[in-house]
Structure 1
Amino acid sequence: MGADEQVPALRTGPPLTDLDTGMRTLLRLDRHLHDAPLFPIEQTAALLDYLISVLVDHPLYREVRDLLDAKPTGSPAGLHETNALSPGATP
């Protein structure tokens, strides 16, 4: 590719091979977040936010979003103050 050639943009959502297992695995985080207050919940929420166009119609999306939006009990203050996945939130 030359310097003046355009790079084709991604026109569709990223290919996901096993969406159901991925969403169920994210829901399993609920069992572990209280024991792992330093888990990178913000980064996980940001990834889900990035994939929202692919995930929003999944039956488990709302549960996963609510789990990631909720601040785990006993976590350090400020661990997840922003709700990146809430409607109207800005990343």
Structure 2
Amino acid sequence: MANFPLINMEKLNGAERGVTMDKIKDACENWGFFELVNHGISHELLDKVDKMTKDHYKKCMEQRFKEMVAAKASEGVYGQVKRYLN
């Protein structure tokens, strides 16, 4: 089994730039994702973005659930009225 794509961002500035770019290209074409290391982004910022993303996803899912419940309730009412009229 092939290794998970791991890209060292420090190698983009130097003699290994071409090899690193080839690794990114391969990861995109064959895996669809990769992990970046030595990117310079603090763990605190990554944790904050992770939390914000999860909170946003949760709110979106809650809204979709509410809309689904409302739609099903409307369908139920419409079905009852339709049966009554027939």
TM-score band (shorter)? under 0.3
Judging by fraction of residues, say which structure has more strand. Answer: 2
User: Which structure's relative contact order is higher, taking Cα pairs within 8 Å and 6+ residues apart?
Assistant: 1
What TM-score does the superposition give when structure 1 sets the normalisation length?
Answer: 0.25
Greater Rg by CA: 2
